């Protein structure tokens, strides 16, 4: 029997899910191995579960979402965080360091009281998460790698080394040499160093490696002219929920 | 072998000839840096370059390469992937890079030779070029004994001003020169000029280590438990860049990639680094070098002791690429001198 797969979302842009139809003919090949039973963005089918594999996109930004996520968890044998918002809170967590009332008024104006929200948090702050597809957006090939591993009964493994490794494998000229300040030395690889390869700095969308040398990285950024506040602001883009900015 | 002379104006014609029968790899300028890559025209080679940002290692050990293909099923099939040979001329390698290949050869060709490495290596011809002044403040080739190429080349050029002196290191080199170039034998005067240039060269390179490099294994071994390594590790990000740009590092990981049909796939090897968190993680989850302090120390011991013990050659050729790429500027010259300081005071 094909495993039943569901895809759900919370606070996000749904751009990570959009990478799945972007697989085009590979999606058709994947459908020979799985049954997609619930996927609001891509299919009119809906099942109340249970699910073998559930991908959840988005961060938790409202109190009532916690219950919905717990219900999804209960119905799912394997639960996977899909993308930066679900994995680490993502850009939604930039607001965590601001005044919450002010943020709501800025977004919802005079209707702010109709939209109660809480500081953004990753799925793992509410329920146990089995695996992660990192990134903003996800890399569709990595989504396939992780799904294939599960279909073969293997444990999906993410690189636990920084983006620098992939830059060096590609023989990139370090973006620090071009005057950019990059989060690559402590950000989890797996994107083939996409941003630095095209001349941009890494902004950390895939989250931190397991044991990042934060202090050494801060020293390097200071050497390249950043003050403490600048450094925290760089970290805050995707890591607003993480300890490193506290 | 007589020393030959090749006028600088005749180098393009030489390369032109090589390009007819070989893939020619040389230093090329990009965004103010130099990188080794295949050239299609002689003028793409920037022969008078300080140092290439990355070593030539990738032409023998690519960052990622398939080693076998497999098909799963009741009767699993496995087939090694062996690359067809491409004859190459690596044109313009500095002595440090020539020496680094010597170490890779010792690792990959001695016992149980690696088929793909061997194919690439047997089909590569080295045209070296002398360094007459240090490329920058990070290089310490003279200390590591790699400033002199010690015959480890097929051809070796030295800049005499108007022309290059060409030394011949092998029959292949001799044939290459005869077949594709208009080189002629050096006169007595040119031979003495070469000797002079060599003497000046040796004077141009300062000694950067405070001790004789042959003592490195002993010095390092005596300071294995020094708190120095822990202090150094505080500056290190553990990003692995130093080893990935190292001309002699060859550690790799082996991964299986399966296709979407879940039956066919390939086994690949990719560059790894002993600085990375999971490098020493083994089956069952044990990590026998869990701290960055241990991993950073291990890296320096590989360069300055372990490879020396194992292969009889220093694991470091003093090219300085690791320092150039290290954002924290952890510099083996300083590290080795600091450890020597402790050793001599102990």
Can you give the pLDDT at residue A207?
97
Please, what's the largest Cα pairwise distance for chain B? 74
> Region A133-149: what's the mean pLDDT?
97
Q: Tokens for B313? A: 């050659």
pLDDT band with cut points at 50, 70 and 90 for residue A243: confident
A5: pLDDT strictly greater than 80: yes
Residues 2 through 61 of chain A touching chain B, CB cutoff 8 Å:
26, 29-30, 33
> Region B93-120: what's the mean pLDDT?
94
Read off the pLDDT of residues A168-203 as tens digits, 9 standing for 90 and up: 999 999 999 988 999 999 999 999 999 999 999 999
- State the DSSP code for A239: H
Q: Could you tell me if B123 and B85 are in contact, meaning their C-beta atoms sit under 8 angstroms apart?
A: yes
Read off the pLDDT of residues A117-131 as tens digits, 9 standing for 90 and up: 999 999 999 999 999
Q: Residue holding tokens 């941009």?
A: A200
> Region B87-112: what's the mean pLDDT?
95
Provide φ and ψ at A7, rounded to 5°.
Answer: -130, 125
What's the pTM?
0.95
Residue A194 makes CB contacts below 8 A (sequence gap 6+) with none
Helices B11-21 + B171-180 axis angle, to 10: 110
The answer to whether the bond into A137 is cis (omega within 30° of 0) is yes
Q: What is the rounded radius of gyration, in angstroms, for the C-alpha atoms of chain A? A: 19
Chain centroid to CA B133: 19
User: How many percent of chain B have pLDDT more than 70?
Assistant: 100
B167: pLDDT strictly greater than 90: yes
Residue B272, min C-alpha distance to chain A (Å): 8
SS3 A46: coil
H/E/C letters for each residue in chain B?
CCCEEEEHHHHHHHHHHHHHHCEEEEEEEECCEEEEEECCCHHHCCCCCCCCCCCHHHHCCCCEEEEEEEECCCCCEEEECCCCCCCEEEEEECHHHHHHHHHHHHHHCCCCCCHHHHHHHHCEEEEEECCCCCCCCCCCHHHHCCCCCCCCCCEEEEECCCEEEEEECCHHHHHHHHHHCCCEECCHHHHHHHHHHHHHHHHHCCCCCCCCHHHHHHHHHHCCCCCHHHHHHHHCCCCCHHHHCCCCCCCEEEEEEECCCCCEEEEEEEECCCCCCCCCECCCCCECCCCHHHHHHHHHHHHHHHHHHHHCCCCCCCCCHHHHHCCCCCCHHHHHHHHHHHHHHC
Q: Which of B325, B327, B328, B329 to mutate to test the interface with A (most CBs of A within 10 A)?
A: B327
Read off the pLDDT of residues A7-65 as tens digits, 9 standing for 90 and up: 999 999 999 999 999 999 999 999 999 999 999 999 998 999 899 999 999 999 999 99
Read off the pLDDT of residues B10-55 as tens digits, 9 standing for 90 and up: 999 999 999 999 999 999 999 999 999 999 999 999 999 999 999 9
Residue B297 makes CB contacts below 8 A (sequence gap 6+) with B224, B229
Q: Inter-chain contact A161–B54, Cβ cutoff 8 Å?
A: no
Measured distance CA(A55)–CA(A81) in Å, rounded: 6
pLDDT band with cut points at 50, 70 and 90 for residue B111: confident
Can you give the pLDDT at residue A229?
86
Angle at B281 between CA B277 and CA B284, to 5 degrees: 140
Which residues in chain B have their CB less than 8 angstroms from residue A180's CB? none
Q: Which of B62, B239, B290, B323 to mutate to test the interface with A (most CBs of A within 10 A)?
A: B239
Residue B313 contacts A, CB cutoff 8 Å: no
| Segments in chain A forming alpha helices (H) | 15-18, 25-30, 63-74, 84-88, 100-108, 140-151, 163-169, 194-197, 214-223, 228-239
Q: Inter-chain contact B240–A168, Cβ cutoff 8 Å?
A: yes
Q: Tokens for A183? A: 């989060």
pLDDT band with cut points at 50, 70 and 90 for residue A246: low
Domains of chain A: which residue ranges? Answer: 4-151, 163-239
> Among A169, A210, A211, whose Cβ lies nearest the Cβ of B271?
A169
Q: Could you tell me if B330 and B232 are in contact, meaning their C-beta atoms sit under 8 angstroms apart?
A: yes
Measured distance CA(B182)–CA(A103) in Å, rounded: 76
Q: Inter-chain contact B53–A216, Cβ cutoff 8 Å?
A: no
Read off the pLDDT of residues B242-298 as tens digits, 9 standing for 90 and up: 999 999 999 999 999 999 999 999 999 999 999 999 999 999 999 999 999 999 999
Residue B178 makes CB contacts below 8 A (sequence gap 6+) with none
What's the burial of B78, exposed, middle or buried (CB within 10 Å: 0-12/13-18/19+)?
exposed
Average model confidence (pLDDT) across chain B: 96
B7: pLDDT strictly greater than 90: yes
Read off the pLDDT of residues B210-219 as tens digits, 9 standing for 90 and up: 999 999 999 9
**Which numeric CATH code is attached to A4-151?**
3.40.50.700
Q: Tokens for A61? A: 């930004």
Domains of chain B: which residue ranges? Answer: 4-61+70-203, 213-345
Neighbour tally for A244: CB within 10 Å: 18
Can you give the pLDDT at residue B346?
80
Q: Is B178 left (phi over 0), alpha (psi -120 to 50) or beta?
A: alpha
pLDDT band with cut points at 50, 70 and 90 for residue A167: very high
Q: What is the rounded radius of gyration, in angstroms, for the C-alpha atoms of chain B? A: 22
Helices B292-301 + B228-235 axis angle, to 10: 110
Q: Tokens for A76? A: 């799912």
Q: Could you tell me if A52 and A3 are in contact, meaning their C-beta atoms sit under 8 angstroms apart?
A: yes
Neighbour tally for B131: CB within 10 Å: 22
pLDDT band with cut points at 50, 70 and 90 for residue A231: confident
SS3 A215: helix
Can you give the pLDDT at residue A179?
87
Provide φ and ψ at A149, rounded to 5°.
Answer: -60, -45
Residue B326, min C-alpha distance to chain A (Å): 10
Strands B64-71 and A51-57: unpaired
């Amino acid at each position: 029997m094909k495993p039943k797969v569901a895809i759900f979302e919370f606070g996000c842009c749904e751009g990570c899910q959009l990478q799945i139809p972007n697989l085009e003919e590979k999606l058709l090949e994947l459908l020979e191995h799985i049954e997609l039973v619930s996927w609001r963005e891509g299919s009119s089918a809906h099942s109340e579960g249970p699910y073998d594999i559930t991908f959840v996109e988005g961060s938790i930004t409202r109190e009532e979402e916690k219950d919905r996520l717990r219900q999804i968890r209960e119905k799912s044998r394997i639960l996977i965080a899909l993308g930066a918002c679900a994995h680490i809170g993502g850009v939604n967590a930039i607001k965590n360091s601001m005044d919450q009332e002010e943020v709501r008024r800025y977004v919802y104006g005079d209707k702010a009281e109709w939209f109660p929200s809480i500081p953004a948090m990753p799925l793992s702050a509410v329920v146990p998460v089995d695996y992660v597809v990192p990134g903003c957006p996800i890399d569709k090939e990595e989504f396939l790698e992780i799904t294939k591993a599960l279909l073969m009964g293997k444990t999906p493994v993410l690189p636990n080394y920084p983006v620098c490794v992939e830059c060096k494998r590609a023989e990139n000229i370090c973006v620090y040499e071009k005057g950019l300040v990059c989060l690559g030395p402590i950000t989890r690889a797996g994107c083939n160093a996409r941003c630095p390869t095209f001349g941009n700095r890494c902004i950390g969308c895939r989250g931190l490696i397991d044991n990042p040398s934060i202090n050494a990285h801060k020293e390097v950024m200071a050497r390249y002219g950043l003050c403490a506040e600048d450094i925290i602001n760089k970290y805050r883009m995707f890591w607003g929920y993480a300890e490193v900015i506290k | 072998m007589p020393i030959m002379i090749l006028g600088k104006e005749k180098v393009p014609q030489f390369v032109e000839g090589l390009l007819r029968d070989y893939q020619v790899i040389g230093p090329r300028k990009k965004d103010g840096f130099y990188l080794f890559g295949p050239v299609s025209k002689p003028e793409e080679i920037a022969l008078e370059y300080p140092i290439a940002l990355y070593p030539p290692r990738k032409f023998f050990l690519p960052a990622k390469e398939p080693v076998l293909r497999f098909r799963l099923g009741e009767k699993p099939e496995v087939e090694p992937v062996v690359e067809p040979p491409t004859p190459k001329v690596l044109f313009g390698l500095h002595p440090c890079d020539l020496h680094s290949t010597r170490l890779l050869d010792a690792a990959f060709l001695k016992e149980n030779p690696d088929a793909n490495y061997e194919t690439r290596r047997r089909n590569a011809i080295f045209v070296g070029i002398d360094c007459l002044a240090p490329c920058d403040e990070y290089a310490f080739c003279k200390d590591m004994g790699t400033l002199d190429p010690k015959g480890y080349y097929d051809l070796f050029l030295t800049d005499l001003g108007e022309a290059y002196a060409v030394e011949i290191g092998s029959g292949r080199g001799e044939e290459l020169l005869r077949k594709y170039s208009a080189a002629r034998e050096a006169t007595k005067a040119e031979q003495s000029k070469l000797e002079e240039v060599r003497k000046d060269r040796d004077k141009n390179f300062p000694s950067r280590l405070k001790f004789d490099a042959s003592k490195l294994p002993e010095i390092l071994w005596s300071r294995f438990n020094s708190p120095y390594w822990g202090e150094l590790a505080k500056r290190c990000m553990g990003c692995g860049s130093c080893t990935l740009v190292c001309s002699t590092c060859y550690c790799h990981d082996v991964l299986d990639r399966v296709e979407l049909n879940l039956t066919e796939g390939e086994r690949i090897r990719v560059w790894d680094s002993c600085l990375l968190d999971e490098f020493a993680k083994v089956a069952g989850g044990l990590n026998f070098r869990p701290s960055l302090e241990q991993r950073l120390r291990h890296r320096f011991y590989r360069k300055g002791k372990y490879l020396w013990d194992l292969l009889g050659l220093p694991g470091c050729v003093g090219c300085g690429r690791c320092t150039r790429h290290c954002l924290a500027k952890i510099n083996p010259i300083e590290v080795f001198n600091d450890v020597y300081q402790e050793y001599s005071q102990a």
